[in-house]
Structure 1
Amino acid sequence: MSKDELTPSQEAPALPPEFATLMRLGDLVTPMALRVAARLRLVDHLRGGVHDVESLAKATGSHQQALGRLIRHLVAVEVLEESEPGHYTPTALGELLAHDHPVTQVGWLDPTHMIGRADLALIHLFEAVRDGRPVYERQYGKEFWEDVSADPVLSATFYDLMAHGQKHIFGLAVAQHDWSGARHLLDVGGGDGDLIATLLAAEPGIRGTLVELPGPAARARTKFEEAGLAGRAEVVAGSFFDPLPVTADVIALSFVLHNWSDQDAVRILRNCAQALEPGGSLLLIECAEQSPSAPDPAFTSGDLRMMVYFEGRERTHDQWRELATAAGMRIDSVSGALAYGARVLTLVKASS
């Protein structure tokens, strides 16, 4: 036997199958490679007809050899494929990195976009877990909402990304909810007004009012005017931390409270309860995990994001019930699942 040959007893022991799983779960290389690809608009260039490494390097302003090594890894993880030697194209998975894809993921990955930028603060997750405090400011020197407000480009990418996913949810929520008898929807903190626009297009007998901060309020006015809703949709600049300037028989809070601590969330709910007309209801559109014993990874990853970005959290059904009780309200009904884990929780005053 050659000295280079191994007997069976000398062979390296087989690794347990869990080894590969843990290495995949703990891998930071692939997530960062995806972020670089998103920032370089690599898939956009490929879809535009640029397919070889040399041309891609010129198009993206990258080091040719380094880009080639990145592309090789993206092929290995099936984001790209080498359809012929030296000729690369995106796979169906890679297509999600195109800016014009219907469900593009660029906003979640590109660090020049607000959420792509915010996710890099996860490098400080250890400190967040140890201290129980958000760590976005540790990474960037400003709190999350201060950064959104101070930079119009980051602000636009944030609200555009939120609207991209929420429009589908709003369509489902409007279609499933019983609007009979509803007269006036007050959308509190409703961004650019997509929920009101969706509702008023489907229910001509209802009018809507949006209460928002000046930036998104201005964009909502333009949206309502362009949609021909100016006579039925009003925009009032204001904050949900102050007494609301308008009352209504239906109030909506969509993806607002998960951004805030329990204490702040109760404060917002109380302001809404005070603005609710007799017999009215509050529609809370949020993720609401139903089975804490079998957590959904999408829910738990979102919850960690809320912890890292600011003092918010994703909440289970029981946690929403506790918040409602603390604000003098109760959950009257919960819708079926909409999309992305969202549901409509209908709250009424506890005395109702």
Structure 2
Amino acid sequence: MNEHNPVAAIRNLAGLATPMALRVAVTLGLPDRLRDDVATVEHVATELDVSPVALDLLLGHLETLGIVEGTPGGYRTTDYGATLCADADNGLTNFLHLDMAGGRAELAFVELLHSVTTGEAGYSRRYGRDFWADLTRYPHLRESFDRQMTHRFRDQIPRIVTGYDWDRFSTIVDVGGGHGSLLAAILAAHPRIRGHLIDLEPTVTEAVRTLIAYRVRDRARVSAQSFFDPLPAGAQAYLLCDILHDWDDDHAHRILARCVEALGRGGRVLVVEPVGGRRANTEFDLAMLVIFAGRERRVDEFRALAAAHGLVLDAVVDLTDQRCLLEFRAVGT
């Protein structure tokens, strides 16, 4: 923060040119195209069928950012800019690419005023349908979203597995478990536990591959269904990992209701996600609002939400620097 020139500092924070330039560069594949082969603006513009004058302006700004550098033969990607290449495996491509789930969703921020005014998702206002309907309509968005969720979660899985006593449960239903990375890791670490993953097609097809890769497929079932429908009954734990913050209170109540009606005697509902005021950041909180009309709920909000379904909050465990686990039990158990 420039304390001596607050106007310049705020202008720098508010400017859209740089974040959009990075997104357009990734969408056009410029970091990859210019990584190993110096090329002129005219040559790249012809390849990509874009305006050479406009591309020159974009590359000029990317050069000031250190993403590319000019040479006598044209532009090339710097080592710093290679962070934006598709094979860097850091999640940035999904986050920035305008035709992938993450990058497309970020543009909902242009509707932040609508979301703050109404409490509704800006995504629906921008695209004419909600985020989940978009994933259903465009399979490539669902595929990129599943990859994004798997990558975002990958580095935290070891701490989640070791930071809680999963071995208390003989059966766990992973509700909306995505590609199955967390459930597979839990089962691999605890050979006596059996699991059941619930998610939509084609996500569950990938989950089967994950379970096979972890060599736990023989202890895990997979069902293609919505978590708004009745869940497999009688398990000791129903795991909701990064689920509730994607929904407003009405939908969150529906999800919890399905968990409670399926819960076995003495069972638990386990919520793993960022918790407001504890393991959540304000930027991500706004993203939940504009994309989903959700939010990072605080402990008291979770307690009130669950109480409507006869659930009592037993414990809050800080698993990582980003996520907590909230353990709920039914009243009287």
What is the TM-score of this pair, normalised by structure 2?
0.90
In the TM superposition, what is the alpha-carbon distance from 1:104 to its structure 2 partner? 3.3
For the residue of structure 2 that corresponds to 1:190, the secondary structure is coil
Q: 46-55 or 133-142: which moved more? A: 46-55
User: Quick check: 1:35 aligned with 2:16?
Assistant: no
- State whether structure 2 residue 231 is matched by structure 1 residue 250: no
Task: Give the match for residue 188 of structure 1.
Answer: 175
Residue 59 of structure 2 aligns to a residue whose secondary structure is helix
Q: Equivalent of 1:98, from 77, 80, 85?
A: 85
| CA distance in structure 1 between the aligned counterparts of 2:188 and 2:41, rounded to whole angstroms | 48
Can you list the C-alpha shifts for 1:81-128, whole angstroms capped at 9, x where unaligned?
447885533343x33311111313111111110121122222222222
Aligned to 2:331: 350
Alpha carbons of structure 1 residues 17 and 208: separation in structure 2 relative to 1, 3 Å: same
Decide whether aligned partners of structure 1 residues 75 and 191 sit closer, same or farther in structure 2, where only a CA change above 3 A counts.
same
Equivalent pair of 1:42/1:60 in contact (CA under 8 Å): no
Structure 2 CA distance for aligned equivalents of residues 148 and 351 of structure 1: 40
CA contact (8 A) 2:269 2:327 kept: yes
SS at match of 1:208: strand
Counterpart position of 1:49: 37
Among 151, 162, 182, the alignment partner of 1:164 is 151
Cα distance between partner residues in 2 of 1:84 and 1:25: 33
Cα displacement string for residues 131-182 of structure 1 (whole angstroms, at most 9, x for unaligned residues): 2222323222222211101111111011111111112223321121112332
Counterpart-to-counterpart distance in 2, 1:334 and 1:27? 39
Determine whether 1:203 maps to 2:190.
yes
The 8 Å contact of residues 288 and 317 in structure 1, kept in 2 or not, is answered as: yes
For 1:67 and 1:176, the matched residues in 2 are separated by 49
Tell me which residue corresponds to 1:320: 302
Is the contact made by 2:164 and 2:319 (CA closer than 8 Å) also made in structure 1? no
Letter of the aligned partner of 1:325 in structure 2? A
Aligned to 2:198, the other structure's residue is in SS state strand
In 2, Cα distance between the equivalents of 1:105 and 1:256? 22
Q: Provide the C-alpha distance between the structure 1 equivalents of 2:130 and 2:306, rounded to a whole number of angstroms.
A: 27
- Which residue is equivalent to 2:228? 241
Amino acid corresponding to residue 314 of structure 1 in structure 2: E
Deviation at residue 278 of structure 1 after TM alignment: 2.5
Q: CA deviation at 1:302?
A: 1.9
Partner residue in 1 for 2:204: 217
Confirm or deny that 1:332 pairs with 2:314: yes
Aligned length in residues: 331
Are 1:310 and 2:292 matched, yes or no?
yes
1:337 to partner: Cα distance: 4.7
Matches within 5 A, 1:139-154: 139-154=126-141
Aligned residue in 2 for 1:3: none
Give the Cα separation in 2 of the matches to 1:204 and 1:144. 37
Structure 2 residue aligned with 1:79: 67
Aligned residue in 2 for 1:287: 274
Identity among equivalent pairs (%): 37
| Ranges in structure 2 where 5+ consecutive residues have no aligned partner | none
**Change in 2 beyond 3 A, CA 1:147/1:350:** same
- Secondary structure in 1 aligned to 2:288? helix
Question: Tell me, what secondary structure is at the counterpart of 2:56?
Answer: helix
Aligned residue number for residue 124 of structure 1 = 111
Q: Give CA deviations for 1:54-100 in whole Å, capped at 9, x if unaligned.
A: 444344443333222212212223333447885533343x3331111
Secondary structure of 2:315's partner?
A: strand
Question: 8 Å contact 1:260–1:311 — kept in the other structure?
Answer: yes
Aligned with 2:120 (options 121, 127, 133): 133
Deviation at 1:36, TM superposition (A): 0.6
CA distance in 2, matches of 1:32, 1:312: 25
CA–CA separation in structure 1 for the residues paired with 2:75 and 2:115: 44
Letter in 1 for 2:164: H
Give the CA deviation at 1:226: 4.9
Distance 1:50 1:57, change over 3 A: farther
Counterpart Cα distance in 2 of 1:200 and 1:87: 49
**Structure whose alpha-carbon radius of gyration is higher:** 1
**3-state SS in 1 of match to 2:166:** coil
Contact 2:175 2:198 in 1 (8 A): yes
Secondary structure of the structure 2 residue equivalent to 1:289: coil
**From 282, 306, 309, the counterpart of 1:300:** 282
Q: TM-score, normalised by structure 1?
A: 0.85
Q: State the shift of 1:342 in Å.
A: 1.6
**Compared CA separation, residues 96 and 337, structure 1 to 2 (3 A):** farther
Q: 1:316 to 1:50 in 2, by over 3 A?
A: farther
- Contact 1:208–1:232 (CA<8 Å) still a contact in 2? yes
